[in-house]
């Protein structure tokens, strides 16, 4: 669709004068080109400005359209593909390497800054790095980008692209390690589980009724029988997300402690799980009932509870503020998290006199 025609329609819809139109058009063209047009879930032929115009039409009153536009203009955070790639590339130098250096310094009994000046410590670091596994928890883990960014530093045999690992694969990984190091007694010392994003922590670990589930629990089920043969006694499990909320970090820590208390030392990982992240979103980042009263009015008024699927209901109450009531003003380039406010991603038919919701960034649903 012709962009100038759509911009004209948008100007009419928003009742902008010429001065306001020129200023907004400049911003819209820039942000569309630099970021928003890169969203992967737009329908064929649709780009940001077309989607924005369609989205704004659902708001009946002009002042509501202005509040919605101001929210997009001033508060929306869109993580582009280039920005996510940058977070992936920072994972090794900012998270992995410092942790391994700290461990080597402790083992060698030297200050951390002395490791690179000590031949024995350098050799120990290289061995420890080879005894580290990187496991992708979902396709959002961008493990292919991580592998290319660290070619020549991390071997292909250290990287696992599927989170469910059977016994044969564990045996193969251990055999590759011992072949590389030349020591038939070597075992793994570090495991990094890698994913792109966590907001509530529920996908990672949660209690459903009396049963624990989630990606961390499934990893425990797959590897727990192999602990003695494949892992050092003091091995460390690290869970890294490129983007995480403060809520998720706190939630996973609490659930980790709850599992440990409920199941005892033999029923869960021996050591506390170490969490890390490339970017942390604090609590002030979220939309709440008190943070923006005008926007909250839109969230409450323009809502259809038909979007509340079974999986969404596991997050509690309703979906107005997204799964887990996270209230995020956040969009990722490949999909919109269900933890974002529903106004951004929800789509409904509006049956029974309810409001038909239109998405600005259409979400690809993974669960019903």
Q: Is 359 inside a domain boundary?
A: no
Which tens digit of pLDDT belongs to each residue from 48-79?
A: 999 999 999 999 999 999 999 999 999 999 99
- Together in a domain, 203 and 291: no
pLDDT band at 2 (very low <50, low <70, confident <90, very high): confident
Q: Which residues have CB under 8 Å from 37's CB, separation 6+?
A: 47, 48
Whether the per-residue pLDDT at 43 is higher than 90: the answer is no
The burial class, CB within 10 Å (0-12 / 13-18 / 19+), for 174 is middle
- Together in a domain, 209 and 340: no
- Together in a domain, 181 and 259: yes
**Helices of type H across the chain:** 3-14, 18-34, 48-56, 62-74, 81-91, 97-108, 119-130, 143-149, 167-181, 215-223, 227-230, 246-263, 293-301, 310-313, 342-345
List, in sequence order, every residue forming a beta bridge with 275; answer none if it has no partner. 239
User: Which one of 283, 302, 331 terminates a domain?
Assistant: 283
- Together in a domain, 266 and 290: no
- Together in a domain, 203 and 275: yes
Q: What is the pLDDT of residue 318?
A: 86
- Together in a domain, 100 and 12: no
Region 321-350: mean pLDDT is 94
Q: What is the pLDDT of residue 312?
A: 77
Q: Is 28 inside a domain boundary?
A: yes
Report how far residue 213's alpha carbon sits from residue 199's, in angstroms, rounded to the nearest whole number: 17
Q: Is 305 inside a domain boundary?
A: yes
DSSP code for 38: G
Q: Do 218 and 227 touch, CB atoms closer than 8 A?
A: no
Q: Do 140 and 196 touch, CB atoms closer than 8 A?
A: yes
Q: Which residues have CB under 8 Å from 176's CB, separation 6+?
A: 155, 157
The burial class, CB within 10 Å (0-12 / 13-18 / 19+), for 66 is middle
Neighbours of 289 (CB within 10 A): 12
Q: Is 362 inside a domain boundary?
A: no
Report how far residue 213's alpha carbon sits from residue 37's, in angstroms, rounded to the nearest whole number: 36
- Together in a domain, 51 and 144: no
pLDDT band at 1 (very low <50, low <70, confident <90, very high): low
Percentage of residues of the chain with pLDDT beyond 70: 98
User: Which one of 224, 259, 283 terminates a domain?
Assistant: 283
Domain count, the chain: 2
Report how far residue 258's alpha carbon sits from residue 85's, in angstroms, rounded to the nearest whole number: 34
Q: Is 363 inside a domain boundary?
A: no
Which tens digit of pLDDT belongs to each residue from 188-212?
A: 999 999 999 999 999 999 998 889 9
Of the ranges 133-137, 218-222, 318-322, which is most confident?
Answer: 133-137
Query: Which whole-number Å values give the CA distances from 314 to 64, 85, 137, 186, 275, in the listed order?
Result: 30, 31, 21, 42, 24
Query: Which whole-number Å values give the CA distances from 10 to 1, 44, 216, 263, in the listed order?
Result: 13, 20, 46, 58
- Together in a domain, 178 and 268: yes
Residue 87 belongs to domain spanning: 81-283
Whether the per-residue pLDDT at 316 is higher than 90: the answer is no
Q: Is 44 inside a domain boundary?
A: yes
More confidently predicted of 288 and 64 = 64
3-state secondary structure of 170: helix
- Together in a domain, 40 and 175: no
Q: Do 264 and 301 touch, CB atoms closer than 8 A?
A: no
Q: Is 366 inside a domain boundary?
A: no
Least reliable range by pLDDT among 67-71, 87-91, 286-290, 313-317? 313-317
- Together in a domain, 159 and 301: no
Region 6-24: mean pLDDT is 95
Report how far residue 54's alpha carbon sits from residue 39's, in angstroms, rounded to the nearest whole number: 16
- Together in a domain, 181 and 223: yes
Report phi then psi at 301, rounded to 5. Answer: -80, -40
Whether the per-residue pLDDT at 365 is higher than 80: the answer is no
Which tens digit of pLDDT belongs to each residue from 73-120?
A: 999 999 999 999 999 999 999 999 999 999 999 999 999 999 999 999
pLDDT band at 270 (very low <50, low <70, confident <90, very high): confident
Region 216-235: mean pLDDT is 87
DSSP code for 95: I
User: Which one of 266, 283, 300 terminates a domain?
Assistant: 283
Single pTM value for the model: 0.91
- Together in a domain, 16 and 152: no
With vertex at residue 50, the alpha carbon angle to CA 45 and CA 56, rounded to the nearest 5 degrees, is 145
Whether the per-residue pLDDT at 368 is higher than 50: the answer is no
Q: Is 360 inside a domain boundary?
A: no
Region 315-334: mean pLDDT is 90
Q: What is the pLDDT of residue 338?
A: 92
3-state secondary structure of 307: helix
Whether the per-residue pLDDT at 330 is higher than 50: the answer is yes
Average pLDDT, the chain: 92
């Amino acid at each position: 669709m012709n962009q100038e025609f759509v911009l004209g329609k948008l100007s009419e819809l928003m009742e902008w004068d010429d001065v306001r139109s020129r200023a907004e058009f400049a911003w819209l063209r820039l942000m569309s080109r630099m970021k928003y047009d890169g969203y992967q879930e737009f329908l064929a032929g649709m780009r940001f400005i077309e989607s924005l115009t369609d989205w704004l039409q659902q708001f009946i009153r002009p002042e509501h359209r202005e509040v919605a536009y101001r929210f997009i203009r001033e508060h929306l955070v869109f993580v582009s593909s280039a920005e996510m790639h940058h977070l992936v590339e920072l994972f090794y130098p900012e998270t992995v390497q410092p942790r391994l250096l700290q461990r080597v310094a402790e083992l060698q009994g030297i200050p951390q800054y002395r490791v690179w000046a000590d031949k024995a410590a350098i050799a120990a670091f290289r061995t420890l790095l080879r005894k580290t596994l990187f496991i992708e928890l979902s396709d959002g883990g961008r493990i292919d980008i991580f592998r290319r960014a660290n070619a020549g530093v991390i071997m292909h045999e250290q990287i696992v692209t599927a989170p469910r690992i059977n016994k044969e694969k564990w045996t193969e990984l251990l055999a590759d390690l011992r072949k590389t190091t030349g020591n038939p007694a070597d075992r793994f010392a570090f495991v990094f589980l890698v994913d792109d994003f966590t907001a509530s922590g529920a996908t990672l670990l949660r209690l459903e009724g009396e049963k624990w589930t989630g990606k961390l629990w499934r990893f425990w089920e797959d590897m727990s029988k192999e602990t003695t043969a494949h892992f050092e006694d003091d091995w460390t499990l690290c869970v890294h997300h490129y983007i995480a909320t403060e809520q998720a970090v706190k939630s996973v820590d609490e659930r980790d402690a709850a599992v440990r208390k409920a199941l005892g030392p033999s029923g869960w990982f021996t050591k506390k799980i170490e969490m890390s992240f490339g970017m942390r979103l604090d609590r002030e980042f979220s939309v709440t009932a008190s943070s923006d009263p005008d926007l909250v009015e839109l969230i409450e008024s323009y809502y259809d509870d038909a979007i509340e699927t079974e999986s969404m209901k596991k997050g509690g109450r309703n979906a107005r503020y997204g799964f887990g009531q996270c209230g995020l003003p956040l969009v990722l380039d490949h999909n919109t998290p269900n933890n974002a406010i529903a106004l951004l991603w929800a789509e409904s038919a509006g049956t029974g006199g309810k409001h038909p919701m239109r998405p600005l960034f259409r979400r690809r649903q993974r669960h019903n």
